[in-house]
Amino acid sequence: MTDDYTGYAPTLVALSLLVAVIASLVGFHLAARVRGSRGLARRLWWSGGSLVMGLGIWSTHFIGTRAISATADLSQDLWLTLTSLAFGVLTSALALAIVQTRWLSLCKLLIGGSVMGVGIAFLHYVGIGALRVEGTVSYDPMLFMLSIVIAVSGSMGALWLSFRLTPEKRRKVPLWQISLSALIMGVAIAGMFYTAVAAAQFPQQDVATEIGASASDRLAFTIAFMTIGIMLIVLILSIHDAHLSSGNARLAASLRKANYELKALVSRDPLTRLPNRLLLEDRLDALLTRGKPGAGNEFAVFFVNLDRFKTVNDSLGHHVGDELIQQVASRLQVAVRDSDMLARVGGDEFIIVSAENTGRAQSAKIAERIMSSLGKAFQIDNNLVRITTSIGISLYPSDGRDKHALMIHADAAMYFAKDAGRNNFKFFEPGMISATERRARLENRLRDAIENDALTLAYQPKVNVITGEIAGVEALLRWHDAGLGNVPPDEIIPIAEESGLILPIGEWVLKTACQQSMDWHAQGYPLLKMAVNLSAIQLNNKNFVSVVKRVLSETQLPPHCLELELTESAIMQNPDRASMILLRLRELGVMLSIDDFGTGYSNMAQLKRFPISCLKIDRSFTSGVNSDLQDAAIVKAVVALAHSLNLEVVAEGIETPEQLAFIRDIKGQQYQGYLCSKALSSDDFQAFLQSRYPVNA
């Protein structure tokens, strides 16, 4: 078998090709693993991968040399063989190290590919050197160069492919693409070996014996199967790990998403999807840390509160209240600028933090825009709901330099806006204290006021529209506190209701008013029908009917001379219970009327079930009868309706003769208002009576 080194054993050639293809496949997979893992896992994949790939490449070479009859039976130098294997491992380690990096630059491709190619060539030529050849091996220079070129370009191709095949941005590489690439790579590796073998010219050898040949075949097969076995195990491990980590990645992604949604949930108001207080405070913090107080850094905090929202909610139901809040939110969103932040911080409370560079003048403009936008009627189901708004504004840095000061001051200013008759806005001024602070102070003082008899009643006449005679009188609560000044009932009542003080106060009002009516009568004046305002809490108190009974018997006031005024919302809080209690009061002979009629949106059909005798049309309608067609139409309709239901009508808040003329024209029976008299102290009211019904005291 002289010179017959071109004879090949086809099974072994196929086997070496198979090993090369599998090694490529394993290489591509490992490249993805190494890139996709971190820390220790990455180092393990890298070193383990280098070993296995190196073994694969070396096996391709080893089986290749066994496939060639010229070299098939040569024994090998162990150390050089191991050195050749080491080159395979080092080259693989280099390849995997390169693919760990993020980008494959041209420079990296050229240098990395060259070093790898040379490494593979070394593997081969050291491997050949390990053969114990008798004499020297010479090389064909052209084929030698060609084998290096194939090794280098094959390595570059491998690098390039493994970057292309690594899943990037969740793109999954199809299996066929990987397999095809591995096939090409495998052919390239094997091709390089066979070219290099062809470059070697071996000296004449002894003829191989049958036994020797089959022994070398067996060795080649053993190495091939072991290598394939190891590579397949690593491949399976790699695929399994890829699966696991993509599962982990998916888990991490869904956790991230859940986290994000949770954050959105806790920082958003569920009804309006607006930011809540949490997010708003973040924004305030950001604004406050961004710039030092100075020109260009001023901004405003608006505290927006709807007037009478509770009435809408109580009388029309929560779904209408919710809808109203949603519509208000979207109108506010339009009214503010994109750069301002709007948040919902309570039931009917919103806070707006303006963008930087918003001074006083611009803040006033924003407030005006908000008020006019919310001033237009809201269409909700079949209801036309009208509300007004009170706004308090604090400015950074003049009204506060931290978020709490700014919010508390805006709140205090809002409270002053409400106090100034609602439906307006106020800038914070030093001396304004926050609503909560004032509330706490008021509640304390109110307890003292009850004990010290500091509460008084004022009396306002109800007048017959036609005759001008006094048809009755309404008792209104008054409180003058040395420190707080005159506290209006609109402010006292909510605090009294919340603190439970409304029950003793209400009973005191009832008793004082009934007693007063009897006292004036005792002095010779006509016995006047006395009207007393009731809170929903009193109405719902289980002792209320017996309290009324007791007061009537103690004061001796005839029941038909007591009139209880209730708002629609007080009745509608619990209509069944209210109708039962009102019936019992009616059985006592007490008169009942609906106060502030028109603001509570209750429907007439429902009102018919209550034993009432009078409707009081709210001041907000009567004040506009001469100027606003809609108000005039509403008042007219209410009067007509009252007539048809056989109810009396009292027009509240009549201030001008024209308003009175309007009421007279549409046949309203009574009115109340400054035109005749304000609410007067008991002495003043007695003087008023004296002027009308002179008695000789």
Given the rule CB under 6 A, which residues bind ligand C2E? 460, 476-477, 488-490, 493, 509, 533-535, 565, 595-596, 619, 652-655, 672-674, 679
Comparison of 189 and 495: residue with beta carbon closer to ligand C2E: 495
**Separation of alpha carbons 594 and 503, rounded Å:** 20
Q: Which does 534 bind (CB under 5 to 8 A by kind): Ca ion, ligand C2E, none?
A: ligand C2E
Question: Alpha carbon 512 to chain centroid distance?
Answer: 53
- 328: tokens are 């208000």
**Separation of alpha carbons 459 and 477, rounded Å:** 9
DSSP labels, 152-203: HHHHHHHHHHHHHHS--TTPPPPHHHHHHHHHHHHHHHHHHHHHHHHHEEPP
Comparison of 73 and 565: residue with beta carbon closer to ligand C2E: 565
To Ca ion, the closest distance from the beta carbon of 533 in angstroms equals 5
Q: Which does 345 bind (CB under 5 to 8 A by kind): Ca ion, ligand C2E, none?
A: none
- 632: tokens are 């005039």
Comparison of 96 and 660: residue with beta carbon closer to ligand C2E: 660
Comparison of 117 and 653: residue with beta carbon closer to ligand C2E: 653
To Ca ion, the closest distance from the beta carbon of 460 in angstroms equals 9
Site string for Ca ion, 445-484 (x = CB under 5 A): ----------------------------------------
To Ca ion, the closest distance from the beta carbon of 289 in angstroms equals 50
Comparison of 150 and 564: residue with beta carbon closer to Ca ion: 564
**Separation of alpha carbons 438 and 430, rounded Å:** 14
Q: Which does 27 bind (CB under 5 to 8 A by kind): ligand C2E, Ca ion, none?
A: none
To ligand C2E, the closest distance from the beta carbon of 532 in angstroms equals 6
Query: Residue 233: CA atoms inside 13 Å, Cβ hemisphere, count?
Result: 7
Cα dist from 652 to 95, 246, 619, 632, 659, whole Å = 93, 74, 5, 14, 10
Q: Which does 381 bind (CB under 5 to 8 A by kind): ligand C2E, Ca ion, none?
A: none
Question: Do strands 648-651 and 614-617 pair parallel, antiparallel, or not at all (unpaired)?
Answer: parallel
Q: Which does 488 bind (CB under 5 to 8 A by kind): Ca ion, ligand C2E, none?
A: ligand C2E
Q: Which does 689 bind (CB under 5 to 8 A by kind): Ca ion, ligand C2E, none?
A: none
**Separation of alpha carbons 563 and 574, rounded Å:** 21
**Separation of alpha carbons 219 and 73, rounded Å:** 11
Question: Which positions ≥6 away from 372 have C-beta within 8 Å?
Answer: none
Closest by CA to 301, choosing from 367, 430, 399, 393, is 393
Residues touching Ca ion, count (CB under 5 A):
5
To ligand C2E, the closest distance from the beta carbon of 593 in angstroms equals 10
Q: Which does 477 bind (CB under 5 to 8 A by kind): ligand C2E, Ca ion, none?
A: ligand C2E
To ligand C2E, the closest distance from the beta carbon of 458 in angstroms equals 7
Name residue 266's amino acid: V
Q: Which does 400 bind (CB under 5 to 8 A by kind): Ca ion, ligand C2E, none?
A: none
Q: Which does 551 bind (CB under 5 to 8 A by kind): ligand C2E, Ca ion, none?
A: none
**Separation of alpha carbons 572 and 539, rounded Å:** 11
SS3 502: helix
To ligand C2E, the closest distance from the beta carbon of 595 in angstroms equals 5
Asked if 584 contacts 541 with a C-beta cutoff of 8 angstroms, the reply is no
To ligand C2E, the closest distance from the beta carbon of 638 in angstroms equals 15
Comparison of 85 and 417: residue with beta carbon closer to ligand C2E: 417
DSSP labels, 269-331: -TTT--B-HHHHHHHHHHHHHHS-SSTT--EEEEEEEETTHHHHHHHH-HHHHHHHHHHHHHH
Instruction: Specify the stretch interacting with Ca ion by CB under 5 A; choose among 324-332, 397-405, 556-564, 590-598.
Output: 590-598
Which helix (H) or strand (E) segment holds residue 517: the answer is: helix 502-522
To ligand C2E, the closest distance from the beta carbon of 421 in angstroms equals 9
Asked if 187 contacts 20 with a C-beta cutoff of 8 angstroms, the reply is yes
Which helix (H) or strand (E) segment holds residue 641: the answer is: helix 629-644
Name residue 246's amino acid: S
Comparison of 397 and 489: residue with beta carbon closer to Ca ion: 489
210-267 vs 10-36: helix crossing angle, rounded to 10: 20
To ligand C2E, the closest distance from the beta carbon of 669 in angstroms equals 17
Closest by CA to 469, choosing from 517, 514, 515, 528, is 528
To ligand C2E, the closest distance from the beta carbon of 641 in angstroms equals 20
To ligand C2E, the closest distance from the beta carbon of 320 in angstroms equals 22
Comparison of 429 and 490: residue with beta carbon closer to ligand C2E: 490
Which of 73, 269, 507, 595 is close enough to bind Ca ion by CB under 5 A? 595
Comparison of 326 and 620: residue with beta carbon closer to ligand C2E: 620
Q: Which does 468 bind (CB under 5 to 8 A by kind): ligand C2E, Ca ion, none?
A: none
Q: Which does 281 bind (CB under 5 to 8 A by kind): ligand C2E, Ca ion, none?
A: none
**Separation of alpha carbons 607 and 568, rounded Å:** 9
Asked if 355 contacts 299 with a C-beta cutoff of 8 angstroms, the reply is yes
Residue 596 near Ca ion by CB under 5 A: yes
Percent helix, percent strand, percent coil in the chain, to nearest 5: 60, 15, 25
Comparison of 298 and 565: residue with beta carbon closer to ligand C2E: 565
**Separation of alpha carbons 616 and 600, rounded Å:** 12
Instruction: Specify the stretch interacting with Ca ion by CB under 5 A; choose among 152-160, 513-521, 587-595, 686-694.
Output: 587-595
Q: Where are the alpha helices (DSSP H) in 37-140?
A: 39-67, 78-100, 106-129
Which of 269, 298, 491, 565 is close enough to bind Ca ion by CB under 5 A? 565
Comparison of 399 and 631: residue with beta carbon closer to ligand C2E: 631
**Separation of alpha carbons 450 and 503, rounded Å:** 11
Comparison of 426 and 619: residue with beta carbon closer to Ca ion: 619
Phi, psi dihedral angles at 139 (to 5 degrees): -125, 145
Question: Alpha carbon 424 to chain centroid distance?
Answer: 30
Instruction: Specify the stretch interacting with Ca ion by CB under 5 A; choose among 19-27, 86-94, 332-340, 644-652.
Output: 644-652
Cα dist from 260 to 268, 269, 286, 663, whole Å = 12, 15, 20, 61
Comparison of 87 and 459: residue with beta carbon closer to Ca ion: 459
Q: Is the dihedral of CA 677, 681, 685, 688 positive or negative?
A: negative
To Ca ion, the closest distance from the beta carbon of 673 in angstroms equals 11
Strand partners, 650: 616, 670
To Ca ion, the closest distance from the beta carbon of 616 in angstroms equals 5
Instruction: Specify the stretch interacting with Ca ion by CB under 5 A; choose among 47-55, 112-120, 558-566, 659-667.
Output: 558-566
**Separation of alpha carbons 564 and 585, rounded Å:** 9
Comparison of 332 and 532: residue with beta carbon closer to Ca ion: 532
Comparison of 387 and 413: residue with beta carbon closer to Ca ion: 387
To ligand C2E, the closest distance from the beta carbon of 498 in angstroms equals 13
To ligand C2E, the closest distance from the beta carbon of 441 in angstroms equals 20
Residue written as token pair 């067609």: 629
Comparison of 533 and 555: residue with beta carbon closer to Ca ion: 533
Q: Which does 73 bind (CB under 5 to 8 A by kind): ligand C2E, Ca ion, none?
A: none
Name residue 531's amino acid: A
Which of 84, 533, 538, 569 is close enough to bind Ca ion by CB under 5 A? 533
Cβ-proximal residue to ligand C2E, closest one:
673
What are the residues binding Ca ion (CB under 5 A)?
533, 565, 595-596, 652
